[in-house]
Chains A and B, each alone.
Chain A
Amino acid sequence: MTTVYWAVDNSLTLIGRGVRMSARNVEALLMAVMLPVLLMLLFVYVFGGAISGGTGYVNYVVPGIVILCAGFGASTTAVSVTRDMVEGMIDRIRSMPVVSSAVLTGHVVASVARNMVAMAIVVGVALLIGWRPSAGVADWFAAVGFLALFMVSLSWLAAWLGLVVKSVDAAGGSTFAITFLPYVSSAFVPVDTLPSWLRGVAEHQPITPIVETTRGLLMGTPIGDSWWIALIWFGGITLVAMTGATVLFRRRTA
């Protein structure tokens, strides 16, 4: 009982730390927001005409941009975990009577909070440039919950990558795959416009069902099987990344 109490108390302290530091890391937050916003403007105003030949492209692309935004945010999470490793903060915490899972929990929860804020800002800009979602209140709640689950799995993955690499610079690049995957998914163009070999990749990677579910919730497009495929991906990624991160955390610090 007391172990659980202190595990929660330690986690809360470190979540507070993560959230405080995230809120003050203006550069990282700007990057997490500016990049997706710029890409959104680029896709809507530059490529949009050619891609869909009409004004409807903004409505198609925004859910994909929100997913892309989450990918950029993951990089900051990996960097902050690596920084704690190499700069001695984890050694300091581990030499104290602290429940060790609290360290990664602190990073993951702060990462989810930070990225939900970044996504909200991106959504705000999207509304300004003419994005018109068809979602009702229930759909919005479902979408926020769905994206939060996505962010949890992505944050664990980023924390794991942050422990795998050995320098802060490498951490920044370690999440490259996460930021690249949306380009070969249905985020920016419908999958059936891709050449058949690439279509196979796009249809079987996690981003496509995630984007399709988000788009379905916000824009009312058909979701089909996408939602449960996405949830299985979340569960799988979270389980594997969490286990990997926990094992590596013990080994790296033992």
Chain B
Amino acid sequence: MDAIRASGVRKSYGSHQVLDGIDLTVPAGSVFGLLGPNGAGKTTLVKILSTLVRPDAGTVVVAGHDVVAESFAVRQKISLTGQYAAVDELQTGMENLVMVGRLRRLGRRASRRRAAELLERFDLVDAGRKLVKTYSGGMRRRLDLAMSLVTGPPVIFLDEPTTGLDPRSRQQMWSFVRELAAGGSTIFLTTQYLEEADQLADRIMMIDHGGVVASGTSTDLKVQISGERVELLFADERGLAAAVADLDPSRVVDRARRSLTVATAGSAAEVRELLDRMDKLGATVDKVAVHRPTLDDVFFALTGGSSR
């Protein structure tokens, strides 16, 4: 079962095309990472998937319901944690949570009970009685996430959940996301950080200027977009074909160059092992090249040189 299915999603504001035909599927229970620079269209896509914005074209089905025709049914099954912690400064943590519970039709008593549970889980028990304006950035974000989990919705949207957080709070958010994923929720998260998508997402889609630039599992993408890569240039087609058949699917083949690129940690031992393996196959390697793009290079390369 797919938790989210979108096809041909387009949206423009005036003459500005924000999304230009996005297709994606997110299997239930998986973590999907949407990666892209500022202004790529990430937030617009999240808003469309979470019923806040109507697409100009295309269809989106979330948790079995169409986001335009059955938005109310979708809203009962999703939660959205926006880019900025949407919490009321002049309410306490407890009051914020109870408010969400009541708006989601839990009833007064059940809302209070659930709020207390969430304060406990997100390490906000003492803070729960204080006004949110006294909270640190990390505490706000935690409360923000807690507010999205009041009714335990099956599909959770997190729009840049760690932007602006210090490294420690970021780690903490990551572990909450992992816990949610382990609990069986479907998570759709957007991020500007490659590392974050890598750490959390089962599948990653990279967009820029409203279009898909790359997509696949984190391993698929690593070869294309991150880390160190070893490129083997073969003496002949036969060698390349043998290597292609032998190596795992996470590699990039360039037939014109007769080359094959794999991700590695870049250690001498790994390179040696790789060459030994080629020897055993009888594939002659002419040249070995180690590519070490920085994250920024990758970002620039795949996003067509747009600024971050």
- Taking Cβ atoms with an 8 Å cutoff, the residues of A that contact B are 6, 9-10, 13-14, 16-17, 20-21, 24-25, 87-89, 91-98, 253-254
Contacts and interface: CB of A to CB of B under 8 A. Distances in A.
A80 to B, nearest CB: 10
Contacts of A91: 47, 52, 80, 82, 86
Interface in B80-133: 80, 82-86, 88, 90-91, 95, 99-100, 102-105, 131
B80 A13 contact: no
Interface stretch (B70-78, B162-170, B185-193, B282-290): B70-78
Contacts of B157: 95
16 contacts: A9-B102, A13-B102, A17-B88, A17-B91, A20-B91, A88-B84, A88-B86, A89-B88, A91-B47, A91-B82, A91-B86, A95-B50, A95-B75, A96-B79, A97-B72, A98-B103
A17 B47 CA distance: 25
A10 B99 CA distance: 9
Contacts of B259: none
Contacts of B303: none
Interface residues of B, number: 30
Nearest to B84: A88
Given A21-B88, A95-B75, 14 more contacts: A6-B105, A13-B103, A14-B103, A16-B99, A17-B91, A20-B91, A24-B131, A88-B82, A88-B84, A91-B52, A92-B82, A94-B52, A96-B104, A253-B52
B45 interface: no
A26 B231 CA distance: 65
Contacts of B85: 88
B51 interface: yes
A229 B298 CA distance: 69
Contacts of B82: 88, 91-92
Majority DSSP secondary structure for residues of A touching B: helix
Given A13-B99, A13-B102, A95 B90 contact: no
Contact of A21 (B47, B72, B91): B91
A140 B179 CA distance: 60
B90 A24 contact: yes
B53 interface: yes
B54 interface: yes
Contacts of B88: 17, 21, 89
Contact of A17 (B52, B84, B99, B105): B99
Nearest to B51: A95
B278 interface: no
A89 B99 CA distance: 12
B147 interface: yes
A9 B106 CA distance: 11
Interface string B141-173: 000000100000000010000000000000000
B151 to A, nearest CB: 9
A20 B53 CA distance: 30
A30 to B, nearest CB: 15
Contacts of A92: 80, 82, 86, 147
A88 B105 contact: no
A84 to B, nearest CB: 9
A51 to B, nearest CB: 40
A131 B95 CA distance: 41
Contact of A97 (B53, B83, B90, B105): B105
A254 B88 CA distance: 23
A91 B80 CA distance: 8
Nearest to B101: A13
A154 B248 CA distance: 69
A93 B103 contact: yes
A22 B84 CA distance: 22
Which of A6, A13, A87, A95 has the largest count of B CB atoms less than 10 A from its CB?
A95
Nearest to A86: B84
The 3 A-B pairs of least Cβ separation, nearest first, read A88-B86, A95-B80, A21-B90
B82 to A, nearest CB: 4
A32 to B, nearest CB: 15
Contacts of A96: 75, 79, 100, 103-104
A91 B72 CA distance: 14
Given A24-B131, A89-B88, A254-B54, A97 B104 contact: yes
A24 B82 CA distance: 25
